[in-house]
């Protein structure tokens, strides 16, 4: 069993789609990502063929020690401020209900970061998939090939590049289709949260 440990909006499904293409020896229809008008992002994702031997595991669903039992674990990490900002940039156009709350984004990302550190300290073997690599057309094909090799699976660099290209293009198109109100509402909400977060940090420093 391959376990993909992630939080929503960290592209765990894209990783599964690519792995499934090689584990099941069956091409994926990544042109699904061209369908940008009628369906929510998650509805489109349900059209992909995912290997039944892949399990999605949200990091915050279990205690840390639970993850020590996984054999083949791919960890979708979000360890830098840049990666957190990339995640937050997807909230407005993917419209994932739970993740529209920036306080929950903080909690889930912090939990994932602590889980990552715990696994490193325990010398747990896993494959790290940094979220920033998903957006990097130079790094991602190399990282994804390393992941497939780690899983002892075949790979095709051109197919991986095409999958990434379609995913990135769809994000850009979805973002461009936001109305001014949707875009402004989201950024006002995010900026207000950023101000509240700074205020809490200042108050905590005075205790």
H or E segment and range at residue 16: helix 12-23
Q: How many CB atoms lie within 10 A of CB 129?
A: 24
Span 14-37, pLDDT tens digits: 999 999 999 999 899 898 888 776
- CA within 13 Å, CB half, 72: 15
**CA neighbor of 4 nearest in space, from 53, 45, 65, 47:** 53
Strand partners, 73: 3
User: Distance between CA atoms of 36 and 40, rounded to whole angstroms?
Assistant: 8
Residue appearing with tokens 């739970």: 98
Question: Does position 150 have pLDDT exceeding 90, yes or no?
Answer: yes
pLDDT of residue 144: 98
73 phi and psi, to 5 degrees? -120, 125
User: Distance between CA atoms of 166 and 115, rounded to whole angstroms?
Assistant: 30
Assign 49 to helix, strand or coil: coil
User: Distance between CA atoms of 25 and 8, rounded to whole angstroms?
Assistant: 27
Please give the share of the chain, as a percent, with pLDDT higher than 90: 57
Span 63-114, pLDDT tens digits: 999 999 999 999 999 999 999 989 988 877 776 556 667 778 888 899 999 9
Is residue 109 within 8 Å of residue 87, measured between CB atoms? Answer: yes
Is residue 159 within 8 Å of residue 139, measured between CB atoms? Answer: no
Span 170-188, pLDDT tens digits: 999 888 888 888 777 777 7
Residue 94, both tokens? 């993917």
pLDDT of residue 206: 58
pLDDT of residue 99: 66
Question: Does position 207 have pLDDT exceeding 80, yes or no?
Answer: no
pLDDT of residue 89: 83
Span 119-149, pLDDT tens digits: 999 999 999 999 999 999 999 999 999 999 9
């Amino acid at each position: 069993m391959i376990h993909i440990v992630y939080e929503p909006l960290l592209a765990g499904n894209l990783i599964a789609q690519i792995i499934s293409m090689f584990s099941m020896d069956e091409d994926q229809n990544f042109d699904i990502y061209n369908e940008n008008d009628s369906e929510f992002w998650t509805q489109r994702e349900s059209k992909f063929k995912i290997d039944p031997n892949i399990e999605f595991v949200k990091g915050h669903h279990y205690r840390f020690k639970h993850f020590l039992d996984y054999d083949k674990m791919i960890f979708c990490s979000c360890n830098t401020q840049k990666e957190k900002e990339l995640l937050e940039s997807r909230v407005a156009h993917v419209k994932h209900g739970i993740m529209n709350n920036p306080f929950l984004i903080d909690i889930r990302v912090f939990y994932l970061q602590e889980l990552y550190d715990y696994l490193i300290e325990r010398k747990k073997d896993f494959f790290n998939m940094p979220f920033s690599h998903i957006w990097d057309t130079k790094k991602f094909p190399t990282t994804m090939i390393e992941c497939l090799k780690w899983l002892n699976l075949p790979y095709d660099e051109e197919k991986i590049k095409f999958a990434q290209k379609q995913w990135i293009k769809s994000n850009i198109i979805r973002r461009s289709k936001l109305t001014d109100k949707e875009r402004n509402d989201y950024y006002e909400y995010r900026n207000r949260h950023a101000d509240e977060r700074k205020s809490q940090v200042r108050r905590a420093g005075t205790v």
